Amino acid sequence: MAVVIVGNDPASRVYVNNKKKACEYCGFKSEEYALPEETTQEELLALVKKLNEKDDIHGILVQLPLPKHLDDKEVIDNINPLKDVDAFHAVNVGKIMLGEYDFLPCTPSGVMEMLHAYDIKVEGKNCVVIGRSNIVGKPMAMLLLHENGTVTICHSRTKNLKEICRTADILVAAVGKPKFVTADMVKDGAVVIDVGMDRDENGKLCGDVDFENVKDKCSFITPVPGGVGPMTISTLMKNTLKAAKVQNNL
């Protein structure tokens, strides 16, 4: 796996280090390409092209967000879809819509794996996803739909958010706002999945859900840290292994 990081964003550095550690743990070779903040679009695209052509690289991960002067969409469009272990390339996104995928985006896929591991059935359940980003909210909703959930996607323009959330048997929060989901938004016995990675008023890592006040209301809840985050990394490793197999016709 090749991990490309541009600039000095401290959060990105932590994510990249965790991904490299996971590669080591799995026995995968990983190569880090740490580029300076002032890297140009042309230089970054040239690196992606080189990595696409390298036979001993099966997965390419460009850590987002990129510095503002770079066009992340163009960069992702230039990754070979077979090496796109984040599943952000339009080809892979389209396959997710059709339900015929090689790779699933790591965070939503990790959430589904967690639901399976705890034998939480999605079929026929009211599923509410708060957030509609391309990397979390939209694919999350699609995966729940593929498993026959009745899915509602909420966003910043949603009216009656609290009422909609209270209908959820499975509530997924991917908002990016600390402790946004409060106890009065959660139905008794709901399954609550917290995707958020936020900082509270003391700078401590927390999720989008007010865990302390919600935990006694629901049947299952994921903590932050320790819930969805590690699942995201394990799915990335799964995607990398799959990419190596596909590229070697195994």
SS3 32: strand
Token pair belonging to 164: 């909609």
Least distance CB 62 / ligand NAP (angstroms): 15
Q: Of residues 86, 169, 194, 210, which has the active-site annotation?
A: 86
Q: State how far the alpha carbon of 121 is from the alpha carbons of 21, 24, 153, 165, 173, in Å.
A: 32, 34, 19, 18, 18
Q: Does 229 bind ligand NAP (CB under 6 A)?
A: yes
Q: What is the 3-state secondary structure (H, E, C) of 145-188?
A: HHCCCEEEEECCCCCCHHHHHCCCCEEEECCCCCCCECHHHCCC
Least distance CB 53 / ligand NAP (angstroms): 29
Q: Does 186 bind ligand NAP (CB under 6 A)?
A: no
Contact with ligand NAP (CB under 6 A) among 5, 104, 122, 135: 135
Token pair belonging to 114: 């967690």
> Is residue 63 flagged as an active site residue?
yes
Contact with ligand NAP (CB under 6 A) among 2, 47, 130, 191: 130
Q: Does 158 bind ligand NAP (CB under 6 A)?
A: yes
CA dist 42 and 107 (Å) reads 29
Contact footprint for ligand NAP (CB under 6 A)? 107, 130-133, 135-137, 154-158, 161, 174-177, 195-198, 228-229, 232
Active-site positions? 19, 63, 86
